[in-house]
Structure 1
Amino acid sequence: MKDTFSVRDTLEVNGKSYAYASLTKLGQRFDLKRLPYSMKILLENLLRHEDGVDVTAKEIEAVATWNSKKEPDTEISFMPARVLLQDFTGVPCVVDLAAMRDAMKALGGDPTLINPLSPAELVIDHSVQVDVFGTADALERNVDIEFKRNQARYSFLRWGQKALADFKVVPPRTGIVHQVNLEHLARVVMGSEVDGQLWAYPDTVFGTDSHTTMINGLGVLGWGVGGIEAEAAMLGQPSSMLIPQVVGFKLSGRLPEGATATDLVLTVTQMLRKQGVVGKFVEFFGPGLQHLPLADRATIGNMAPEYGATCGIFPIDAESLKYLRLSGRSDEQVALVEAYAKAQGLWHDENSAHAEFTITLELDLADVKPSMAGPKRPQDRVLLTDVKQNYRDNLGSTTAKRNGAEARFANEGGGTAVGHDKSEAALGQHVSMNGQNFHVNDGSVVIAAITSCTNTSNPAVMLAAGLVAKKAAAKGLKTKPWVKTSLAPGSKVVTDYLEKTGLLTELDKLGFYLVGYGCTTCIGNSGPLPQEISKAISDGDLTVGAVISGNRNFEGRVHAEVKMNYLASPPLVVAYALAGSLDVNLSTDPLGQGADGKDVFLKDIWPTNQEISDLMAGAVTSDMFRKNYADVFKGDERWSSIDSPDGDLYAWDEASTYIKNPPYFDGMTMALTAVEDIHAARCLGLFGDSITTDHISPAGAIKKDSPAGRFLIERGVQPIDFNSYGSRRGNDDVMVRGTFANIRIKNLMLDGVEGGYTMHVPSGEQLAIYDAAMKYKAAKTPLVVLAGKEYGTGSSRDWAAKGTLLLGVKAVIAESFERIHRSNLVGMGVLPCTFKDGQNAQTLGLTGKETFDITGLNDGNSKEATVIAIATDGSRKQFSVNVMLLTPKEREFFRHGGILQYVLRQLAGKKAA
């Protein structure tokens, strides 16, 4: 710490003396009271890391004198205190570290220098799939399947846990990464030894999952990054960023009767998406905070990616301390958090000074109404009263509509709503399953899942779901037989309080048996539908639905056979499982008939806020947290019995289809070559707006007739053992074959074709994108991708960038990028560019069949480049694009071929300490 501004000070807490970078001292030179909470965290980070090279006094002064209205144009370096991984993104991170150790040895350096230089924790939560549901033994059977499927990956992670310093793994069957982070891993204030001195500083975090922002609810500044950027942080490299604008979000009042935290976050998401907060920080404040429990704050922080912000943060206050005590943090840690926050001006109460914001939005919590979001985007909020009409508006031309039917979906022989057509066309596809006969039609809810980090961390909505189930069962209601029901809590604490209240049994009665601890349905691990249901959907070409308590509902994400996906609170998930259809207005139509034959409405079984509050007061205790996290890194017998190799270098198994040494460092030398212009490139794909990382990155099931499926079959893997793309992220051969292979992606080079296909222009053939890319590679033809607005939105999938690189794509030209994906492309050495305002592929008349020259890059230093597109008839179009290498550090990464190559060259000449 250079300490140009003489801010180093000491803080006495718990009988210990902590060094810290005092914002109070800096406040004697600058007016820091006007700074938002999040900006103060950035400022402290710079003060503590000032070295005159990566962090200079000029950067510190730029943040201290932050102009809230100014467009971001000043680069700063940010160094998170720790890194958080989940297994889908974490496995390739560890694969890369293992590969870097091999490359380090080849370059003549010391492989043991490749270690996390700050705490790195990985939570295995993305691997469990809902193969078994609706039975009391679903959890055990799903976990058994999970371990059998993932032996190679888990063995590799156990090697990493032994070989890499400061790297810990939370084993399977523990919880969702963000909930485990909230309940246990987060420190809020770090107390760590740095160069022999005990320091106190804010807990900040980079996570390889975009919903890392959930921890913002606890006052911890953190956000999702690509795996590449996370690896760089683990290796001691600061992240370059522009000083952000900060949007203030003032909350007042309190939630009304019947409204949940889910309704609130969907309202907030819609408001902020409408405002436009991409690349900005969002900070919540106001008198409403006193009525907002920590779990509700975490729910709002969780969905920052959905409203587009880098983070959605709350300050540290009395509620924060209350939660830390509840979740079993030590008295010493709570005391450190309180003392540090108050000493640094990071404490929020009614006397706190009002900060300046770029813009301020306001919401009276009393105005929040029961809502859902869908059918394809999380920001598309729909009032519960309007879901039926929203479903119909989005249905389009289907079998039911062609026959004039507006069918409710009742069991054969009874119960259709008055006035509805009971013709065979209206009733849809007949199904006989498990001794029951019924019909499945457009709008049938075939998946109802209490899943994902957004809501399963929130006791209020989880207990509400249990109470809805209890009241429904008491009235004799049952879930419809075509609905696949599942309960996947975010931690074992949830199971404990559901068991304590007797509500786990009530959920069981409606088929919501515990299926696993993990993200499950929200990330596409919904598992197969029953064969009879799948056949009905296929035979009838039906547009069926899912209602899930998650945060993502993009096309093709939840399940390949389900086209309409709605986000909802856990109690509404239960309600839609009872109704069985989207073609129903739950505010006016009955859920079904009770045991007495009378209609039962949602209002009849919906718990009051007081009921939930009273139940929660005695149900959730700190002892639950302490018990469940006492040996959180140990795991069960399944985990401890996995064989794993020893040694500083990983023993790669050439036959493995899960773990493979990637080719990123093949032929790498210490010498740099200049960035070359791109000539005679072909377009691999021409895409429209809102292409998500789910469209780009390999995700979900692997089809046997896909390039990846054929690859696995050639190596003796049977389709039943394919597992998912996510589980095979450690093998680049599989993953590159699944890039741009989403079943719903539409390449505009083809006429209305869905799926991962393109035109190989020289031959005119329609091919799988991977097959076309390999033909181009054989001909040494570079590739480009053209796209519209919001390219790369969604989860921080590093394989969306890695796969793009390995297909041979040199540049992506889009109207706009999502922040994380653009950064990931840079990190992999792929050039991101944007069209000039008002221009896109359509306005420029581009078909994707042209050849493309991208010139004037000036070794990566140019802010603009010239593109010349030459059509098949020889005509030329010339236009300028913006080069989206935004900071000097990004330009340096790009010149090295990526972040990892940059880090390797920096470390290769060093000796082990």
Structure 2
Amino acid sequence: MGQTLTEKILDDHLVEGKLETGEEIGIEIDQVLTQDTTGTMVWLQFEAMDLDEVQTELAAQYCDHQTYQFDFKNTDDHRFLRSAAGTFGAHFSRPGNGICHNVHKENFAAPGKTLLGSDSHTPTPGGLGELAIGAGGIDIAVAMGGGSYYIDMPEVVNVRLEGELPEWATAKDVILELLRRLSVKGGVGKVLEYTGPGIESLSVPERTTITNMGTELGATTSIFPTDEKTEEYLDALGRGDEYVELSPDEDAEYDDEIVVDLSDLEPLIAKPSMPDNVVPVREVAGQSVDQVIIGSCTNGAYEDILPAAKMLEGRTIDRKTDMIVAPGSKQASEMLAREGHVAELMAAGVNFSEATCGACIGIGHVPASDSVSLRTFNRNFEGRSGIEDDSVYLCSPEVATAAALKGEIVDPRDLADELGDLEDPGFELGDRYDTGGEDPDLISPDEAVDDELVKGPNIGDVPLKDTMEADLEGPALLKMGDNITTDHIIPATQDILMYRSNVPKLSEFTLSRVDDSFAERALDADGGFLVAGENYGQGSSREHAALCPMYLGVEGVLAQSFARIHKANLFNFGLIPLTIDEETYEKIEQGDDVEIVDDVAEAVRSGQEEFTVRVNDDWEATAYLDASEREREILADGGKLAHTKKQAQSGGSGATPADD
């Protein structure tokens, strides 16, 4: 039996386990990336494990989220990250140089490599044949130290693309169509592997738009085979020698198949406030629009902004609508500027932003109260834009630009008919992507500025959890619904994000979007549990969403189901993730006394799957722990950092980073 492309790359990097769906495997990691909101903790954990040098082929530290440097805390973080990169041997991308996924794609992503990143949109380079996975920060630290990355072998789903995109339909509409069909939970535990004749019509940047937003499906990762389009793109980047031809075997067997006929697609839009709330643009046409933003790691490349420039040439945006372009990288800005497009955009009334994640996480360009914002981003979770009760729609650059011209949501096909001289701008690659000479904003390990760590007063230590005890009990501190995101657990707005290196302070904001009294109540309770519905922890890879509840004394989470990365982060910080059924969820109430009846530490280590949960000494239910032997040891030891140090001291293997 032949192999899928996913299986081929995993097989080449397999260290432990078998490629059987649901079985835990350990794989070797070639490249790692981290960014400024997760990176400080990554390097503090790397230091805490007494590691002194990066062991992966390549490590890259990007500063892309909090680049506006509102006060010294942000700037101190960036200085520390530069010093960590220089001390331990990583590339360093300066603040303002661009978003990690875009800059990594431009400089380092390569076919057939494995990439692990402490950002949930790490799968972006899957568009050029790299197997890229998002994970929690401590998993990155261990991988950088030479340790394997462990994951349950996902299902591999064949997404077969047929036909070609019609006028005004884009790659963004491909992934929005999949979100419409599958929902934000539809990709959990799966790799989406794209095949079929439709691939041939899509360039690498179009493919990376699709793989980027595979994260919104909950997918482990997404990947395309390589072909002439891949080689053409790498050549344009000046990295043609890194091209490798990769494809599945003709007789490869997949766990499932989804067929998308590109020729059937039309402009789509995700309504507030979830990426899977997708409808045709014509269904919401006429809605007045106050703000339009083109950018982010999804649609912030040169090829994404160019269509907007073409559509706006000789025109101006509607006077009641603000339009911002937020490039994904400084390279994209420079290319557009050299070709004169930045001037044309500005002449049309467009405001240019620094190349940053910024507005996507509510830092800058926050919408006005009771307003509508159209964005080419990947997420529109409620409140993520920086204001509660926001109204954010997700769409392609073409749909966003049409709205800016009209002042309301409009299908660009209808606007073209109305204006008479508006043509589909199409999709155009740049001739070359190296802008001439050495990049001063990307510092290699050989050019490192620092050789020792520089820690400002806002950078604290890594909190550790004690070894798991036999008895776990406490109140149900908070009961939540379905699809609670990491933005709910730890918001990423600028007033909160600046404390990412200061866990005691950051913890004060834990679950504040659900209940602003939670942190204080949790500290007073000195223990207890969170209760949630389906898909708890969806969204970003931020491990602070597990670290801060741990710091506040939370012992575990009882949920109907968990998002992949967040569940791993719960293990990594010693919080037990127990799955409950709908009946138990409905019955348990906030404030109830909860006790896990079993000798929990012994049960976890021994492989026990069913746990008895007693509530108010009145009724009992069964909860389930789905965990590998390795995850159980990590959990019982109080988390991955404590477990790794214990393994190193005992001379064991486990998650211990390898020697040279």
- Whether these two folds match at TM > 0.5 is yes
TM-aligned CA deviation for residue 378 of structure 1: 0.9
Match in the other structure for 1:154: 78
CA distances 1:770-799 after superposition (whole Å, capped 9, x unpaired)? 11122223xxxx210000011111111111
Q: What SS is found at the alignment partner of 1:812?
A: strand
* Structure 1 unmatched runs, 5+: 1-30, 50-54, 67-71, 102-110, 130-144, 189-201, 389-407, 409-442, 538-542, 591-599, 703-724, 746-755, 758-767
Counterpart of 2:506, as a letter, is: M
Q: What SS is found at the alignment partner of 1:296?
A: helix
TM-aligned CA deviation for residue 239 of structure 1: 2.4
CA distances 1:685-732 after superposition (whole Å, capped 9, x unpaired)? 100111011100132143xxxxxxxxxxxxxxxxxxxxxx22321111
Counterpart of 1:456, as a letter, is: G
CA distances 1:221-259 after superposition (whole Å, capped 9, x unpaired)? 011111122222222222222222111011111100111
Match in the other structure for 2:510: 739
Q: What SS is found at the alignment partner of 1:558?
A: coil
What does 1:688-837 align with in structure 2 at a 5 Å threshold? 688-702=481-495, 725-742=496-513, 745=514, 756-757=515-516, 768-777=517-526, 782-836=527-581
Rounded to whole Å, the distance in 1 between the matches of 2:484 and 2:392 is 17
Rounded to whole Å, the distance in 1 between the matches of 2:82 and 2:266 is 47
Match in the other structure for 1:864: 610
Q: What SS is found at the alignment partner of 2:225?
A: coil
Match in the other structure for 2:596: 854
- 1:468 lines up with 2:311 in the alignment: yes
Query: Is contact 1:385-1:586 (8 Å) kept?
Result: no
Q: What SS is found at the alignment partner of 1:150?
A: helix
Match in the other structure for 2:318: 479
What does 1:526-605 align with in structure 2 at a 5 Å threshold? 526-527=364-365, 537=369, 543-561=370-388, 563-581=390-408, 604=420
Rounded to whole Å, the distance in 2 between the matches of 1:604 and 1:275 is 42
Match in the other structure for 2:61: 122
TM-aligned CA deviation for residue 585 of structure 1: 6.9
Counterpart of 1:774, as a letter, is: L
* Structure 2 unmatched runs, 5+: 652-657
The 3 A distance-change label for structure 1 pair 368 and 586 is: closer
Q: What SS is found at the alignment partner of 1:627?
A: coil
TM-aligned CA deviation for residue 500 of structure 1: 4.1
Rounded to whole Å, the distance in 2 between the matches of 1:562 and 1:493 is 35
The 3 A distance-change label for structure 1 pair 292 and 587 is: closer
TM-aligned CA deviation for residue 525 of structure 1: 1.5
TM-aligned CA deviation for residue 512 of structure 1: 2.0
Rounded to whole Å, the distance in 2 between the matches of 1:853 and 1:115 is 44
Match in the other structure for 1:494: 332
Match in the other structure for 1:687: 480
- Aligned-residue sequence identity (percent) comes to 30
TM-aligned CA deviation for residue 859 of structure 1: 3.8
CA distances 1:809-865 after superposition (whole Å, capped 9, x unpaired)? 1010000100000000000000001113x43421xx222121110132334121111
Rounded to whole Å, the distance in 2 between the matches of 1:912 and 1:221 is 25
TM-aligned CA deviation for residue 568 of structure 1: 1.3
The 3 A distance-change label for structure 1 pair 354 and 323 is: farther
What does 1:199-598 align with in structure 2 at a 5 Å threshold? 202-273=112-183, 276-329=186-239, 331=240, 333-334=241-242, 337-338=243-244, 341=245, 346-347=246-247, 353-388=250-285, 444-457=288-301, 459=303, 461-471=304-314, 473=315, 477-481=316-320, 483-527=321-365, 537=369, 543-561=370-388, 563-581=390-408
Counterpart of 1:517, as a letter, is: A
- 1:678 lines up with 2:472 in the alignment: yes
CA distances 1:451-503 after superposition (whole Å, capped 9, x unpaired)? 211111261x32111111114x1xxx43334x443211112332233234432
The 3 A distance-change label for structure 1 pair 293 and 585 is: closer
TM-aligned CA deviation for residue 652 of structure 1: 5.0
Query: Is contact 1:788-1:816 (8 Å) kept?
Result: yes
Query: Is contact 2:184-2:218 (8 Å) kept?
Result: no
What does 1:863-902 align with in structure 2 at a 5 Å threshold? 863-870=609-616, 876-884=618-626, 886-902=627-643
Per mean C-alpha deviation after superposition, the further-off stretch among 544-553 and 256-265 is 256-265
CA distances 1:175-215 after superposition (whole Å, capped 9, x unpaired)? 11101111111133xxxxxxxxxxxxx31011111111111
Rounded to whole Å, the distance in 1 between the matches of 2:477 and 2:421 is 53
Query: Is contact 2:101-2:124 (8 Å) kept?
Result: yes
Match in the other structure for 1:625: 434
Query: Is contact 1:77-1:241 (8 Å) kept?
Result: yes
Counterpart of 1:35, as a letter, is: Q
Give 1:39's match in structure 2, choosing from 7, 13, 22: 7
Query: Is contact 1:295-1:458 (8 Å) kept?
Result: no
TM-aligned CA deviation for residue 664 of structure 1: 1.9
Rounded to whole Å, the distance in 2 between the matches of 1:561 and 1:684 is 23
Give 2:38's match in structure 1, choosing from 65, 86, 89: 89
Q: What SS is found at the alignment partner of 2:121?
A: helix
TM-aligned CA deviation for residue 265 of structure 1: 2.0
TM-aligned CA deviation for residue 148 of structure 1: 5.8
Q: What SS is found at the alignment partner of 1:794?
A: coil
Query: Is contact 1:545-1:562 (8 Å) kept?
Result: no
Query: Is contact 1:240-1:890 (8 Å) kept?
Result: no
The 3 A distance-change label for structure 1 pair 552 and 78 is: same
Counterpart of 1:128, as a letter, is: T
The 3 A distance-change label for structure 1 pair 691 and 510 is: same
CA distances 1:739-779 after superposition (whole Å, capped 9, x unpaired)? 1112xx3xxxxxxxxxx33xxxxxxxxxx1111122223xx
Q: Which has the larger radius of gyration?
A: 1
Match in the other structure for 2:655: none
CA distances 1:340-389 after superposition (whole Å, capped 9, x unpaired)? x4xxxx346xxx6142111111111101101111211111212110124x
> What is the Cα-based RMSD across aligned positions, in Å?
2.7
Rounded to whole Å, the distance in 1 between the matches of 2:635 and 2:437 is 44
The 3 A distance-change label for structure 1 pair 262 and 88 is: same
TM-aligned CA deviation for residue 305 of structure 1: 1.2
Rounded to whole Å, the distance in 2 between the matches of 1:455 and 1:727 is 26
CA distances 1:652-695 after superposition (whole Å, capped 9, x unpaired)? 55xx2x31123327xx7xxxx5642313x112210011101110
Match in the other structure for 1:907: 648
TM-aligned CA deviation for residue 263 of structure 1: 1.7
Give 2:107's match in structure 1, choosing from 161, 180, 184: 184
TM-aligned CA deviation for residue 577 of structure 1: 2.7
Rounded to whole Å, the distance in 1 between the matches of 2:638 and 2:468 is 10
TM-aligned CA deviation for residue 523 of structure 1: 1.7
Q: Tell me the TM-score normalised to structure 2 length.
A: 0.92
Query: Is contact 2:584-2:621 (8 Å) kept?
Result: no
Q: What SS is found at the alignment partner of 1:684?
A: strand
Query: Is contact 2:137-2:542 (8 Å) kept?
Result: yes
The 3 A distance-change label for structure 1 pair 486 and 854 is: same
The 3 A distance-change label for structure 1 pair 115 and 894 is: farther
Counterpart of 2:645, as a letter, is: L
Q: Tell me the TM-score normalised to structure 1 length.
A: 0.67
